[in-house]
Structure 1
Amino acid sequence: MPECLHEALQKIIATQPKGRKPVLVSSNGLANRFILSRWGIRPSQRRRYRQLFSLVRKQCRSVFQYYVSRGWVEWDTTSGNHLLGVYKFDEIRGNLILGFVPIPPGSEWKLSGR
């Protein structure tokens, strides 16, 4: 799992009240965070670094498609094991938006038949 996605999910889940509310993350938003953290290039500079943004966005889309096909994500921390269900929320002009749902330990989680 990319470190910037991992940090974003941890931060959002920690501030969110308990429950099964989904956390929505877009592939373009993840690409922007990655480029900002790695090279310090802001999204407003996209025109100048067009090729970089294009390549990173394609990679983020492929990572997101992998997570959708897998259906879940988990990581281990010192406080325990975190398990998130993953589903495709929307796709707009190539921007893939995924929903991440925290799954309580010991429960079965299945995608709805949408």
Structure 2
Amino acid sequence: LKMRYPMPRYNNPRRTWQYTNEFKAKAVQLSLMDGIQVQEVAKALDIHPMMLSRWRKEYREGKIVADKRKKLTSIDKEKKELNKLKRLEKENARLREELDLLKKWQRFLAEEHQNGIDSSKKSGGS
């Protein structure tokens, strides 16, 4: 007798995103600008950095070509957005550190206050 194993059935097959050549070209051109890192562009566009690296290679090889009829004026806007995102992330990190420090200070004061209450009980003071 031959045993039959049921094949897995996928009700919702995994979908892959299809990106236009124009999107890929803009992403690559943005990543090639001075002061911009591949990881930053990938994070801002919500794509994996390796995908962007592959697109950069394909762009160099001529497999991805930007539509020359469309101006890429939005690149400057996107660069400003990336810079704004970096600035906000730094500010967020600084604020988290400040909050953490304030919480530690609050705990310290609460412990000092509790120690003061405990020592006054032991000494019979009020």
TM-score after normalising by structure 1: 0.25
**Larger relative contact order (CA 8 Å, sep ≥ 6):** 1
Q: Which has the greater radius of gyration?
A: 2
Which structure features the higher share of strand residues? 1
TM-score after normalising by structure 2: 0.23
Which structure features the higher share of helix residues? 2
